[in-house]
Amino acid sequence: MNKSFKTWLHPFQFRDKGFLPTKRFLVLIGFLVLPLLLASYWNKGWLFFVVINSVVILLSLIDLFMLPKTNQINCERKMPDKAERGVSFKVQLTIHNDHQGRFPIYFKVIDHLLPSFLRPFPLLGKQEEGKPLTLTYHSMGSVRGNYQVDKIYIRYGSSLGLWEKQTYVHFPQQIRVIPDLSGVRGFISSTPEMLLLQGVKPRKYQAGFGEFSLIRNYAVGDDPRKINWRATARRAEIMTNMYEPEHGKQVTLLLDCGRTMGVELRKSNRLEKSMEAMLTVAAMALQQGDYVSVMAFSDEIHAYIPPGQGLSHLQRIVEGVYAIQARLVESNFAKAFQYLETIQKKRSLIMLFSDLDHFLLEDTLLPILHPIRKRHFFLLIGIEDPMVRNWLRKDITDSTTAMVKTMAEGQLLKRKKQVDKWRQYGLQAIEAREENLVSIAVERYFEVINRGVL
């Protein structure tokens, strides 16, 4: 397809300004062909041809006269500047017509959304005299990132419907597609009950827990359990202990964005599921009063969010990592851990969301993790390969199936052996199913915090 043909095709694809015939016009021309052939049979063809064309031209001029000029059409868009991945959002288009005609105008509208968004176009609407036309549609983004939405393409015609004019309006806007946080919000509300059923208790702050501050006179409303009886006997008046509130623990979440994290799963890829689990753990830790920092990396450091406290810090974490995608490069774990050592001086819980194959199949990473293990509590969380699990479930019907199942069992035993080897070095590694990754990550967070290893 050459350039000139593409340029000629643009008006028919909502990409340019101009006017073009409608289906009604083409049907009208088709119906007039038969009378024209009959008239030519009676030697009246030229007369009938002139009459027909005069009528068609007259109707076309009337139709075009009823339509407003393209510079009299304006449109504005109302859409959120932020939307969650896979969650529907509402967009409102308002068309203004400065033409003072008395005839209704019929509109077809296409908004400039990228293919990663749901595109329910064209939108159809009828505008009465002097009234703006409001069209509403719902869309959703399937890929995280920052997107530019610019042109609004418009076609409009009159009641005759022989011709349509076409124009577009520049209305640039930005929309960010962030991770889906509906699961995070639902998990926060249901986590205490769910964990209690599993035998894991969320951490509770007890009275008198924290660093000792001072001894002062007992006042009405003080906790009687804090009374210092030795000081009371010595001073002959009731004295009570005062404690500083416990400072939150340090939680560092690492997100691998390398090549293996782009592997597709049943509903999304490893990076999407790992990011969902990471944000859920961050929300739970922030709700418990801990300090949470996040680092995303592949062959380089893509984002680092310093430690913060309170649920408001979750918004800063989302803003820092929402546009990160899996890259077609090998992850540089040595560089990531060296960078971590320079910025994380306090003892913390380090949770790395990555593919376990890097660690279970390569012994070269153990020396790199040795200084991390001495200073921090390290926990590696990955998603198990669903293909291996499916092979293990197959019934043996022939030699090929038996061989495949045997290889899968051998692979599983080898991975368990490597995980046990890691535990001997003081490094924890967990492989969870795709659908259980979030709950297991949160459960392990509470388990480590409740053990008091930090």
Tell me the C-alpha distance between 450 and 243, whole Å: 20
Tell me the C-alpha distance between 119 and 110, whole Å: 9
Residue 301 has pLDDT above 50, yes or no: yes
Is 282 in contact with 290 (CB distance < 8 Å)? no
Q: Which of 66, 137, 78 is nearest to 102 (CA)?
A: 66
Question: Do strands 250-256 and 291-297 pair parallel, antiparallel, or not at all (unpaired)?
Answer: parallel
Residue predicted with more confidence, 33 or 177: 177
Residue predicted with more confidence, 1 or 101: 101
Residue 389 has pLDDT above 80, yes or no: no
Per-domain boundaries in the chain: 3-60, 70-178, 182-203+247-451, 212-243
Is 431 in contact with 385 (CB distance < 8 Å)? no
Tell me the C-alpha distance between 246 and 454, whole Å: 13
Q: Same CATH fold, 182-203+247-451 and 70-178?
A: no
Residue 55: which pLDDT band, with cuts at 50, 70 and 90? Answer: confident
Residue 201: which pLDDT band, with cuts at 50, 70 and 90? Answer: low
Write the burial class of residue 100 (CB in 10 Å: 0-12 exposed, 13-18 middle, 19+ buried): exposed
Superfamily of domain 182-203+247-451: von Willebrand factor, type A domain (3.40.50.410)
Task: Tell me the residue type at 396.
Answer: I
Lowest mean pLDDT among 28-32, 307-311, 436-440: 28-32
Residue 36 has pLDDT above 70, yes or no: yes
* CATH topology classification for 70-178: Immunoglobulin-like (2.60.40)
Residue predicted with more confidence, 96 or 370: 96
pTM of the predicted model, to two decimals?
0.76
Average pLDDT, the chain: 83
Is 186 in contact with 52 (CB distance < 8 Å)? no
Is 441 in contact with 276 (CB distance < 8 Å)? no
